[in-house]
Amino acid sequence: MKKIILILITVIFVYACKDEKKAEISSMKTETFAYFGEKIDDKKALSGPEIAERYKTLAIGDTLVTKVSASINEVCSKKGCWMKLNLGDDKEVMVRFKDYGFFMPLDAKGDVIVRGKAYVTEVSIDDLRHYAEDAGKTKEEINAITAPEKAYAFEANGVLLKE
């Protein structure tokens, strides 16, 4: 009798666990975004061309707190610590993550929504070479970097990656 009760409890336990996992997996499939950093929503995000126009009005040191929707051009190939987003018209923005609190998957592609601070900065030669190395550029391409650049930058505190 004890063996029958033990077997019955074991069978119930196994089936109960299976059903929970199925429910958990199906709820994950309904998500359309993967979240990184702070959880944000997809509402009221500026498009790439819209934020590019706003960048034109910013001086070095100015910031604009906003949300942007754009396509990923590139992600740091070493650990996902930065990404470049396409703003249209051959313009892109370098996105870093607040306090290095989170990273993007190395194979991240497609559209993202980022929330944080947009700003204009001057990128030093050393930093440009470091980013080129992280992106897997050749030594010749890295050595060809000889002048600092004015660049669009963004510090994200939250990212939505469309799945």
pLDDT tens-digit profile of 86-137? 999 999 999 999 999 999 999 999 999 999 999 999 889 999 999 888 888 8
32-162 fold = OB fold (Dihydrolipoamide Acetyltransferase, E2P) (2.40.50)
Of 63, 149, 77, the residue nearest 106 (C-alpha): 77
- The average confidence (pLDDT) of the chain is 83
| Amino acid, single-letter form, for residue 161 | L
Average pLDDT over residues 135-149: 91
Q: Cβ(36)–Cβ(162) under 8 Å? A: no
Handedness of CA 86, 89, 90, 91 (dihedral sign): negative
Residue 22's pLDDT is 34
**Of the listed ranges 9-23, 40-54, 70-84, 131-145, the one predicted with least confidence:** 9-23
Q: Cβ(111)–Cβ(69) under 8 Å? A: yes
Domain ranges of the chain: 1-30, 32-162
Q: pLDDT band at 24, cuts 50/70/90?
A: very low
Q: Point out which residues pair with 91 in neighbouring strands.
A: 88
Task: Specify the residue for token string 């709820």.
Answer: 27
Locate 99 and state its tokens.
Answer: 């306090």
